[in-house]
A = this chain, B = another copy of it.
């Protein structure tokens, strides 16, 4: 069991159940409520119940999927909390992926002006991405995380046991954030990640803690995303736009799949803007294309991509802000690139389909 202390709460990583049991006993919450979605009710709740057979709790269940991360679901969760007679000394355990963690955390943070909540992220993506940083929220009018708050949980419990419940594609999606963390801050981890040719070979327990500590590094220095924290946005300016356009197509991409595309493009922008050495551009592109399928970007819709990039919450005065790599393992925020360069970077990604980048 590894522990990471973030501000006033602890992230437990490993076989979490003995620590979770102790935590609940020590804190003596008046009532325990578990929030699940239709997927985690089937795949994760049995694991939870088998590990804590003596825990008595109430269950709130919402439909699964990003399309349900909205005010309707919040109203269902809040109503259920009132019906269950939850007081301020109750605790809500959010058992699920990013949607459950973000939305459950938001509902708990606003129920009676704030009840306690515990995060048990069950996907690799939510474990390495959403478990640090206190970002909570829901989508509003199709704007991702348009409404939300910053607030920290009582604790986060991360256990790779849940990967058994994940499709391989989901696991690969989460891995994109692990790659990103190494690329922006840890040359040694980037070196060791490149040794893995297949995800099945990875020792997750040993990988998670250093990856989480990178996110912690940036979040602790800038909890409200005023500046430095934007570093975590590498690959996300273009990646979010790719994800947004794909969402309305016949072939939606998972978050990490879109971010992998964004990282290839922004690696190329790093070359143009920050003199990232050419051999590192090739190395990064090659590694990403070795893991993620190639999805050509339809450049006839370039304006749609640009519009989405311009809507990014992190922009200032209408300028698109990138976080780019001067070299692998280090990052520069607030980098502005011309529209022509952005187009070139998408073109670069497209061209990789026809060039053998894999050795």
Establish whether residues A113 and B150, one from each chain, have CB atoms under 8 Å apart when the complex forms: yes
Which of A135, A140, A143, A150 has the most chain B CB atoms inside 10 A of its CB? A140
Q: What are the residues of chain B within 8 A of A135 when measuring CB–CB?
A: 113
Q: Could you mark each residue 108-123 of chain A with 1 if its beta carbon is under 8 Å from any beta carbon of chain B, else 0?
A: 0111111000000000
Interface residues on A, range: 20 to 34
Establish whether residues A112 and B75, one from each chain, have CB atoms under 8 Å apart when the complex forms: no
Establish whether residues B114 and A147, one from each chain, have CB atoms under 8 Å apart when the complex forms: no
Establish whether residues B313 and A147, one from each chain, have CB atoms under 8 Å apart when the complex forms: no
Q: Could you mark each residue 54-96 of chain A with 1 if its beta carbon is under 8 Å from any beta carbon of chain B, else 0?
A: 0000000000000000010001001100100001110000000
With A and B bound together, what is the CA distance between A179 and B114 in angstroms?
30
The contact of A149 among B79, B110, B141, by CB within 8 Å, is: B110
Q: What are the residues of chain B within 8 A of A316 when measuring CB–CB?
A: 87, 89
Residue positions of A touching B, CB distance < 8 A: 30, 71, 75, 78-79, 82, 87-89, 109-114, 135-137, 140-141, 143, 145-150, 224, 313, 315-317
Provide a sorted-by-A list of 17 A–B residue pairs whose CB atoms are within 8 angstroms. Answer: A30-B317, A71-B71, A79-B141, A82-B141, A82-B143, A87-B313, A87-B316, A88-B313, A89-B316, A110-B147, A111-B146, A112-B146, A112-B147, A113-B136, A113-B137, A114-B149, A114-B150
